[in-house]
């Protein structure tokens, strides 16, 4: 069975986007519901999603288990899985790990771009690795079925998380550093360690992580996937588009800064253009996933490999990750 799964989007959600998901035959999307929000603010974001689930039940529903991806495909809908790009929703309370999993969270990054209570972000000058609290939170996440996501984390923290976690972890949205040397992209040793431990890498379409940025070609993107597959195999690779559709540029400030700074952190963007970059013309929204599929076939992947990259590999990971330790989902 072939699934189409995107393991990261952060859009200005609307009926238009939900309908585009259906036009693109997207069975499941991991959506960011917290960047820097605390627990209460995250609950308010879940309330907002609950209203969308009530308004558009023929288009979307909340995904909790891998079986919901099959349900979504069988009923012509998209399963929405919640995730955090920062551990701020659990604040300094390890007991909230189980609570957020109960509320539907299935992914949590241990850090965004800066230092957190758990791990180090990729923009910090020094990376002391996973903290004492971080080690305990990883164990609690493993028990609950909350996936450890290290997409924005620094190298040492990421390698330690892979080693500490008793369940495979994910880098839901990043690309290889060898292809595009951005701070957010991942070095070869990190990708090898991740996939050797049965973890998943989702390739990002956010222009700052692409070679030639907004002008990146479909062929170049697919060649990058092929080179990565040559290095580690195709079984632990998928898509995590990092699509940030329809947001005003002001949202970038919240993403990058939150409340931790009075200064604007432009990240990997240009100070003269601090807003969202233009997406490549072959991937504007959810309707364009078919372009990636065609590109992968053109570059030489066979049908089974393309199915894996487009969603079947994520499906296998979901089945082994979302339930309590010792169970499948």
What CATH number has the domain bearing residue 307?
A: 3.20.20.140
- Asked whether residue 326 is domain-assigned, the answer is no
Residue 288 domain boundaries:
5-321
- Asked whether residue 297 is domain-assigned, the answer is yes
Beta strand residue intervals within 63-198, DSSP E: 78-84, 105-109, 147-149, 170-171
Say how far apart CA 256 and CA 269 lie, in whole Å. 11
- Token reading at 322: 């979302």
- Asked whether residue 290 is domain-assigned, the answer is yes
Contact between 264 and 286 (Cβ < 8 Å) = no
- Token reading at 61: 């529903």
> pLDDT digit of tens for each residue in the chain (329 aa)?
699 999 999 999 999 999 999 999 999 999 999 999 999 999 999 999 999 999 999 999 999 999 999 999 999 999 999 999 999 999 999 999 999 999 999 999 999 999 999 999 999 999 999 999 999 999 999 999 999 999 999 999 999 999 999 999 999 999 999 999 999 999 999 999 999 999 999 999 999 999 999 999 999 999 999 999 999 999 999 999 999 998 887 777 777 788 888 887 655 544 445 678 899 999 999 999 999 999 999 999 999 999 999 999 999 999 999 988 877 67
- Token reading at 120: 């180090």
How many structural domains compose the chain?
A: 1
- Asked whether residue 329 is domain-assigned, the answer is no
Contacts of 224 by beta carbon, 8 Å cutoff, 6+ apart: 175, 176, 179, 180, 203, 211
- Token reading at 252: 């970038």
- Asked whether residue 63 is domain-assigned, the answer is yes
- Token reading at 39: 């627990």
Contact between 64 and 19 (Cβ < 8 Å) = no
- Asked whether residue 168 is domain-assigned, the answer is yes
- Asked whether residue 216 is domain-assigned, the answer is yes
- Asked whether residue 327 is domain-assigned, the answer is no
Residue ranges of the alpha helices (H) in 95-165? 96-102, 132-144, 155-164
pTM of the model: 0.95
Closest to 224 in 3D by CA, of 193, 191, 196: 191
């Amino acid at each position: 069975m072939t699934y189409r799964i995107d393991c990261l989007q952060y859009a200005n959600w609307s009926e238009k986007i939900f309908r585009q998901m259906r036009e693109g035959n997207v069975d499941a999307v991991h959506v960011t519901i917290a960047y820097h929000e605390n627990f209460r603010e995250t609950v308010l974001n879940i309330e907002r999603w609950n209203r969308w689930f009530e308004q558009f039940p023929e288009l979307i529903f909340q995904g909790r288990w891998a079986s919901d991806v099959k349900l979504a495909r069988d009923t012509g809908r998209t399963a929405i899985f919640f995730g955090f790009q920062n551990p701020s929703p659990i604040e300094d309370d390890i007991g909230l790990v189980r609570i957020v999993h109960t509320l539907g969270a299935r992914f949590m990054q241990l850090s965004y771009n800066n230092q957190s209570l758990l791990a180090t972000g990729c923009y910090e000058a020094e990376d002391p690795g996973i903290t004492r609290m971080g080690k305990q939170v990883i164990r609690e996440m493993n028990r609950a079925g909350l996936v450890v996501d290290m997409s924005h984390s620094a190298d040492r923290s990421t390698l330690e998380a892979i080693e500490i976690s008793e369940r495979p972890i994910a880098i839901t949205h990043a690309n290889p550093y060898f292809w595009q040397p951005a701070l957010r992209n991942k070095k070869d040793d990190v990708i090898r360690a991740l996939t050797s431990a049965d973890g998943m890498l989702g390739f990002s379409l956010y222009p700052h992580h692409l070679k030639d940025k907004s002008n990146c070609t479909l062929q170049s993107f697919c060649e990058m996937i092929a080179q990565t597959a040559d290095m580690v195999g195709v079984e632990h690779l998928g898509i995590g588009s990092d699509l940030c559709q329809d947001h005003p540029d002001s949202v970038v400030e919240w993403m990058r800064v939150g409340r931790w700074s009075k200064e604007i952190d432009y990240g990997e963007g240009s100070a003269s253009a601090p807003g969202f970059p233009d997406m490549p013309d072959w991937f504007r929204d959810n309707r364009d996933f078919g372009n990636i599929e065609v590109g992968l076939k053109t570059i030489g992947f066979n049908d089974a490999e393309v199915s894996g990259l487009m969603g079947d590999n994520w499906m296998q990971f979901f089945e082994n990750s979302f339930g309590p330790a010792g169970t499948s989902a």
